[in-house]
Chains A and B, each alone.
Chain A
Amino acid sequence: MMKFVLQSVRNGCRIGVLSEACPKIEMESPLCMLYNRAGCVPYITHDLYEKISGLPSVVQMPSNLLLEHSDTVRDFGAGIKKFTAMENFIVYFHPQDSACAVPKGYNDSLGISIWGQGGKKKLNAEQYMDVVDAFQPDWFQALADSDTDQDSTKKRIRRSVERTLEYLDQCIKRKEQSDHLKNASIIGVLEGGHSISDRIASAKETARRPVAGFSIEGFHNFGPDTEAFKISEIEELLRVTILELPEDKPRFLSGVYNPLEIIKAVKLGCDIFESTYPYVVTERGCAFVFDLDTWENKKPEDPPNTASFEVSLKNQMFQNGFVPMLKGCTCYACQNFTAAYIYHLLNTSELLGSLLLMIHNFHHYFRFFEVLRRAIAADKIIEFEEHFERINSQPKEAN
């Protein structure tokens, strides 16, 4: 069972400790989870996990590529963790994959639509809980109707709030009846689209249920394009939502978020994030280069080290770059290989290219969270945010 203890709040940012009994793990928040696809860390085999420093203890397993195998896992009988050899992690199972855009308009009274390799599946709460029961995750999100965005009608938003609450109640009931899920933690989903009143209603009602934490969704339909989504656009919506929530339960914000957006969300009171962003960046052949080391010593008028959060290793300028992708980076890829080699791998569509980029991007993103926690504790979050504002406001170089 998940336990969350809030230790302090500084400039709106919460420093907390999240713990789980079995496996016995303790983590500091704000934190991010390790993204999985189909039960695997993208590109990286188990024996290379130790190469990623700061590897999260929580693995996020979206259901989209796993649903079609639920009867196999059921017959396997020992749960998804053993099936995927992830017993040393905390596994968080949730319906949608934020790295994949969810087509709009496919949820109805029969259930929620989830797209996998074999096409669309529609699940109601009972069917979803059948899967959760077979998977036996440590934490799981209740089934939710998050198919709303800034263009949704009031009627549609209202329906998503009501349906999500119905599903939550059904999921809680099933959880209480299940031997497998006795010690699992259920995460309630907060809806309300871009409507203040509906956000408040959803949050108020969900907070009354016996959930271990909250996941705030319904702002958009996920996918790599939501990288451009700005937390500032939903600042008020997040504020009114979080006001209704107890402080001793963590707040998950799923989505593809760059460091600047993460900081903004943390300042508003969010605790747990995903690592879909490093995956999206890897898929386009790019490597993170945002500075995490010299920002503290910079004056506001100093230009940032980089013009962007990332560089494209497909760019011909790296063809004879016999230096690491990112100077000073301590990741396995940068410590051992040159940008020229990674350029060559990407240019020849070799799998090792994506593998090395994924290691680098995960490493850098997890480091960001570590530096973020230190910055909060040292009351330097404003400077940290300004550092990323400066990078973000640079004119973008052609990649």
Chain B
Amino acid sequence: MFRLIKKRMNMTDLTTEKALTFHIKAECSRTKARTSVMTLPHAVVETPVFMPVGTQGTLKGLAPQQLDDLGCRLMLGNTYHLGNRPGDNLLEEAGGLHEFMKWKHALLTDSGGFQMVSLLALAEITEEGVKFQSPHDKSDMMLTPEKSIEIQNSIGADIIMALDDVVHSTVTGPRVEEAMYRTIRWLDRCLKAHQKSHCQNLFPIVQGGLYPELRKKCAEELIKRDVPGFAIGGLSGGEEKSEFWKMVTLSTEILPKEKPRYLMGVGFALDLVVCVALGCDMFDCVFPTRTARFGVALVPTGQLQLKNKTYKRDFQPIDSSCSCSTCSRYTRAFLHTIVTQEPVSCSLLTIHNLSYQLNLMKSMREAITEDRFPEFVQSFMLKMFPKRNYPQWTIDALHSVNISLS
């Protein structure tokens, strides 16, 4: 245990004792975009950053070395899944998730609450916590804020999330307000229970559904607490995009500039670009890795469903401007023969899709650094919508930060 703490402390910023430092390197002169360097116990991460999701302690079909080679320095693990299998006790015994999965860079875990509510038919939220039936033996169990932090302490991620009362973004009425206030109360319980603030950073999550006043109130309350960063939650579920972006920009307006903003569950390339413009720093989404399993490759113009007969005789790589190991070797036609048939195709497409997402983030960081981010965004949008049939919400969102789409 001591050896672990010692190792982690060696990797923190030597000038402070903090487990997270966040230095803004450059800000876009027109939008709210910024590029920063975030130092965590296990890695130095440049933001804006996209975090691939390795749900069960692995990224589907990739060895950690491959993820490292792609330039990934921060990835996600899901507390609900890991708490079940292999279990927090075993992870503690293994020396934490880093050691168990041999990932030497940074990890972020969620609280477990979201999955519980979305995966379990009989999850019930009380003031105490989330009551649910164990998926194994159907016995009654309770995930409290304290328990969530305890499990996340065992897993050992660099960034951990407070247990929040997540309400689906399409829910309306008093339930939303109730959830928002409970999230604040649960945050305080999480902060109290957190045993490892010297090496694990606890982020609270701004809730409030699609109600601006509730979001505002929630953010203002969270800011009063001494936390190293903030997450914006409850916004990746199927709500109208026209509402979505307004809640994002409202949150980044209120949240302090000098701390990272993590927009949970986002997302598609289009969402990433717009939300970077709106001032978000960190993102996560299962989409690039999940869609790879179904034979879908991500490209600047959108997506390719490689199972489609269209690609039978297409002898180009997925993306001729991509330098990933999949694109440098294989044609769409070859991939068409193996997608959804041979397991290795999953790995090949995951490598490409992650390369695409991570390179997109890198391009944005470079554009912000060189203060040409608005031009980057316009160029990106034109590639994705050559007929200029931009979704209205993107026009509005980008306009709000001084980017016009002609």
A336 and B334 contacting across the interface, CB-CB below 8 Å: no
- The minimal Cβ–Cβ distance linking B60 to chain A, given in whole angstroms, is 6
- The minimal Cβ–Cβ distance linking B352 to chain A, given in whole angstroms, is 11
Q: CA–CA, A47 to B326, complex, Å?
A: 9
Among B313, B326, B345, contact of A75 (Cβ-Cβ < 8 Å) = B313
Q: CA–CA, A43 to B85, complex, Å?
A: 23
Contacts of A72 in B (CB 8 A): 312-313, 333, 337
Contacts of B93 in A (CB 8 A): 320, 322
| A:20-67 near B, CB below 8 Å | 37-48, 65
Please, what's the 1-or-0 string for B334-350, where 1 marks a CB less than 8 Å from any CB in chain A?
10011001111111100
Among B60, B69, B85, B334, contact of A344 (Cβ-Cβ < 8 Å) = B85
Contacts of A1 in B (CB 8 A): none
Contacts of B102 in A (CB 8 A): 336-337, 341
B338 and A39 contacting across the interface, CB-CB below 8 Å: yes
- B265 sits at the interface (CB 8 A): no
Interface size on B, residues (CB 8 A): 41
Contacts of B58 in A (CB 8 A): 345, 350-352
Contacts of A351 in B (CB 8 A): 58, 60-61, 343, 346-347
Q: CA–CA, A344 to B56, complex, Å?
A: 9
A340 and B344 contacting across the interface, CB-CB below 8 Å: no
Contacts of A340 in B (CB 8 A): 86, 90, 94, 100
- A195 sits at the interface (CB 8 A): no
Say whether, besides A75-B313, A319-B90, A43 and B343 are in contact (CB < 8 Å): yes
- B152 sits at the interface (CB 8 A): no
Can you list 17 A-B pairs, Cβ within 8 angstroms, ordered by A? A38-B338, A45-B326, A48-B65, A72-B313, A83-B333, A85-B334, A319-B90, A320-B90, A345-B58, A347-B85, A347-B86, A350-B60, A351-B347, A352-B59, A352-B61, A352-B62, A352-B63
Central interface residue in A42, A84, A336, A352, by most chain B CB within 10 Å: A352
- A355 sits at the interface (CB 8 A): yes
B85 and A45 contacting across the interface, CB-CB below 8 Å: no
Please, what's the 1-or-0 string for B60-90, where 1 marks a CB less than 8 Å from any CB in chain A?
1111011001000000000001000110001
B343 and A354 contacting across the interface, CB-CB below 8 Å: yes
**8 extra A-B contacts, CB within 8 A, seeds A336-B102, A352-B61, A355-B63:** A42-B344, A72-B312, A76-B313, A319-B86, A320-B93, A344-B57, A348-B85, A351-B61
Central interface residue in B65, B326, B338, B348, by most chain A CB within 10 Å: B338
Contacts of B348 in A (CB 8 A): 45
Contacts of B94 in A (CB 8 A): 320, 322, 338, 340-341
- The minimal Cβ–Cβ distance linking A144 to chain B, given in whole angstroms, is 25
B85 and A39 contacting across the interface, CB-CB below 8 Å: no
A48 and B63 contacting across the interface, CB-CB below 8 Å: yes
Contacts of B329 in A (CB 8 A): 46, 85
Q: Chain A interface residue count: which class?
A: 35 or more
B333 and A76 contacting across the interface, CB-CB below 8 Å: yes
- The minimal Cβ–Cβ distance linking B405 to chain A, given in whole angstroms, is 38
> What residue of chain B has the Cβ atom nearest to residue A341's Cβ?
B100
- The minimal Cβ–Cβ distance linking A78 to chain B, given in whole angstroms, is 9
- Residues of B participating in the A interface, judged by any CB pair closer than 8 Å: 56-63, 65-66, 69, 81, 85-86, 90, 93-94, 100-102, 312-313, 315, 325-326, 329-331, 333-334, 337-338, 341-348, 351
- A297 sits at the interface (CB 8 A): no
Please, what's the 1-or-0 string for A321-343, where 1 marks a CB less than 8 Å from any CB in chain B?
01000000000100011101100
Q: CA–CA, A29 to B65, complex, Å?
A: 33
Q: CA–CA, A211 to B310, complex, Å?
A: 41
- A117 sits at the interface (CB 8 A): yes
Contacts of B59 in A (CB 8 A): 352
Q: CA–CA, A284 to B60, complex, Å?
A: 19
- The minimal Cβ–Cβ distance linking A72 to chain B, given in whole angstroms, is 6
Central interface residue in B85, B93, B334, B343, by most chain A CB within 10 Å: B334
Q: CA–CA, A365 to B334, complex, Å?
A: 29
> What residue of chain A has the Cβ atom nearest to residue B81's Cβ?
A348
> What residue of chain B has the Cβ atom nearest to residue A354's Cβ?
B343
B69 and A41 contacting across the interface, CB-CB below 8 Å: no
Q: CA–CA, A75 to B336, complex, Å?
A: 15
Contacts of A37 in B (CB 8 A): 342
Contacts of B56 in A (CB 8 A): 344, 348, 350
Q: CA–CA, A85 to B85, complex, Å?
A: 37
> What residue of chain B has the Cβ atom nearest to residue A86's Cβ?
B329
Say whether, besides A41-B344, A83-B331, A69 and B57 are in contact (CB < 8 Å): no
Contacts of A350 in B (CB 8 A): 56, 58, 60
> What residue of chain B has the Cβ atom nearest to residue A80's Cβ?
B334
Q: CA–CA, A100 to B85, complex, Å?
A: 33
